[in-house]
Structure 1
Amino acid sequence: GKRAKPPTIPELINRQKMAVANAFLKPILPFIKLGFFFAVEGTTKHQHNEALSYNKLHALQGEYPNIEMDYSKALVSKGSLQPAINPAVSLLPNGIEFTWEVAADMEWGIKNDRTMLLAYFPNQQQAIYIFSGAQRKEGRDFLELPPNLLDQPMHAYISFMADDKMSVSDSVWVEL
């Protein structure tokens, strides 16, 4: 219904936080659906709501009316697998290469985990991602990008999905 009273300052703050977090999540909804699937499994929660709740609480910065995303604190997947160790990203002529540390004593059960890679372009509110990339034991993977996005500001995230597709890791933001 319509309200007769103007919104309070706390309501305006909450509205802006919701708008900023939702603007980030909207272009990555399929990624969120998979990335937060296991975080809500067995509950009545929905993946998008869980991602929104986490990012609204942990990945926003600034004071109203200047609230914005802190992309380095955002999560695009949440789970129990070991996250990438010391990930890095390099810009190449046709995309970005992700690398991560592969421990010599890596547990056998996680060697075949597959990468989930995401590049988010805030100016375009667009994302490019893959769900099943290289195996964890390879230590590198590549995400091809369209030529029109290569020179745009971007934020990169890496996470892993178990080979049996029954669990994921928390995502890690990787500085370009």
Structure 2
Amino acid sequence: MAIIKNGINGGFTGTVGTVSGYYLYGKWVIRAKRTPSLKNKIGSARQNVCRSKFSLMQQFLKPIVGFVQIGFNMESKKRMMSAHNVAKSYNMLNAQQANREIDYPKVCLTYGNLPGAIDVQLMVNDVGVHFSWANNIEGNYVRAHDQVMLMLYNVEDGIARYETSGAKRSRQQESVKLTELDKGKTFHTWISFIAEDRQAIAMSTYCGSVVFKPE
């Protein structure tokens, strides 16, 4: 059953026969139900490589989907796609090696044109990981109020600790706490900045990996 919106000239939601309708990014969309052939189910060698890359990136992004939904929010509106799909598409294209392994330094978790972080330093103690960065917006009052976004990602266990509304850029330092459960674990790290009104964002910067070894 389908429901017509705004009369006979409007769109509809639901399914009628083999056709489904829904509202997506300001537009009414209809599409036919897919009936994949046996050939497509099995897949060619090239299709299976693509599917493998897709599954790997899907798995990588799953624990951090809340972060990338913010990080790719503005770009998703331009492309009229979900933020998750834009992030997946970008990183499949730019951050996967020929052997299908993820290239962490090339991973992008936030996408935009604000000034990024420079001269990032990391310090680990029994509380967590402490980030510091250089002031590269001297005299720019608006940019001084950007907020830092931080990511610590234990890829092996699929556990992420992150901050999406951290200290202001002008403060030049912020921390992410870790727990006893994180002891001895390796975390890949990223930093970015988002405007105070959440309408602009920087490209994320990979800061290397750290091992949490509290004393």
Q: Which residue of 2 aligns with 1:34?
A: 70
Confirm or deny that 1:113 pairs with 2:113: no
TM-score, length-scaled by structure 1: 0.91
Contact 2:137 2:144 in 1 (8 A): no
Secondary structure at the aligned position of 2:151 is classed as strand
Alpha carbons of structure 1 residues 167 and 11: separation in structure 2 relative to 1, 3 Å: same
1:4, CA displacement in angstroms?
Answer: 4.6
User: 1:55 aligns to what?
Assistant: 91
Q: Is the 8 A contact 1:40 1:50 kept in 2?
A: yes
What per-residue deviation string (whole Å, max 9, x for no partner) do you get for residues 86-127 of structure 1? Answer: 212221212101111113735222001101111111111111
Residue aligned with 2:130, SS: strand
Which consecutive unaligned segments of at least 5 residues does structure 1 have? none
The structure whose RCO (Cα within 8 Å, separation 6+) is larger is 1
Verify the 8 A CA contact 1:95 1:150 in the aligned structure 2.
no
Q: How do 1:49-128 and structure 2 match up within 5 A?
A: 49-63=85-99, 67-103=100-136, 105-128=138-161
Match of 2:171 in 1: 138
**C-alpha separation between the residues in 1 aligned to 2:139 and 2:158?**
37
Whichever structure has more strand as a proportion of its residues is 2
Pick closer, same or farther for the CA change 1:104–1:56 going to 2, 3 Å: closer
- Cα displacement string for residues 17-52 of structure 1 (whole angstroms, at most 9, x for unaligned residues): 101111110001111111100112244211011000
* 1:22 partnered with 2:55: no
Closer, same or farther: CA 83–104 of 1 in aligned 2, 3 Å:
closer
Matched residue of 1:134: which SS? coil
TM-score, structure 2 as length reference: 0.76
* Preserved CA contact (<8 Å) 1:37 1:47: yes
For residues 41 and 80 of structure 1, the distance between their equivalents in structure 2, rounded to whole angstroms, comes to: 15
Task: Select the structure of larger CA radius of gyration.
Answer: 2
* Distance (whole Å) between structure 1 residues aligned to residue 202 and residue 143 of structure 2: 11
C-alpha contact (below 8 Å) 1:94/1:147 kept by paired residues: no
RMSD: 1.6
Amino acid at match of 1:3: L
Q: Residue 38 of structure 2: SS of its match in structure 1? A: coil
Gap regions ≥5 residues in structure 2: 1-35, 211-215
Could you tell me the percent identity over the aligned residues? Answer: 28
1:173: which partner in 2?
Answer: 206
